[in-house]
Amino acid sequence: MRFLSLRSQQVLIQIKRQLNQIIHAYLNIMNKLHQLNISYSNREDRLLLRASTKDGDEYRLWLTRRFTRLLYDVLAKEMDKKGGVTAICSNEQTTKLFKNGAFEKPFKDDNVNLPLGESGIVAFSIKTGTDAEGTLTLELHAEDGRGINLSLNNSLLYLFYSLLTQGINQANWQLHAGKEITSQHIH
């Protein structure tokens, strides 16, 4: 770095910090997911996705209407690939989640670490994949590359889909003309 200008050195340091934040976010959220929450903000006219880990990290992402529609379509297609809403919500693992109160437990606000900042980031890109076990990998990132990577088995996929659906309905966004977006619950 001796031969670089001071400005170039500062830019490289900033890039290095951002890469470290991205790596930190990736390592902390994968396989350590504790809670998910989606709520609508009238003030922002956006959905706020909050994902917490067992280590006390909380990742906050703002979802615009455009982004939410894209995300909903991605999740709906993935649900269809796995047999549809009814098949996934009635499987044993999903039923167990509901019996253990997956939707009744309030989101805990005692997370000590906010890797994406207190105000969070605006989600910009979605990237999906499937791992060797058939689990959906979902990457949600801001324009600068910061974000979260989630690994969603069928039950967590259904849970996330349902939370997103509830958020859409709470926002009263008519994302699918002529079709009401609904979620199915089992108990």
- 154 is a domain residue: yes
- Specify the pLDDT at position 17: 59
Let me know if residue 101 belongs to a domain.
yes
183 domain residue, yes or no: no
CATH at 61 = 3.30.2450
pTM for the full predicted model: 0.73
Does any domain span residue 15? yes
Establish if 27 belongs to a structural domain.
Answer: yes
Domain count, the chain: 1
Residue 10 and residue 173: Cα distance in Å, rounded? 43
Q: 94 lies in which domain range?
A: 6-171
Asked if residue 179 belongs to a domain, the reply is: no
Cβ-proximal residues to 89 (8 Å cutoff; 6+ apart), any chain = 158, 184, 185, 186
Sign of the torsion formed by the C-alpha atoms of 50, 128, 88 and 69: positive
**pLDDT for res 165:** 92
Q: Is residue 187 part of a domain?
A: no
Residue 182 has pLDDT above 70, yes or no: no
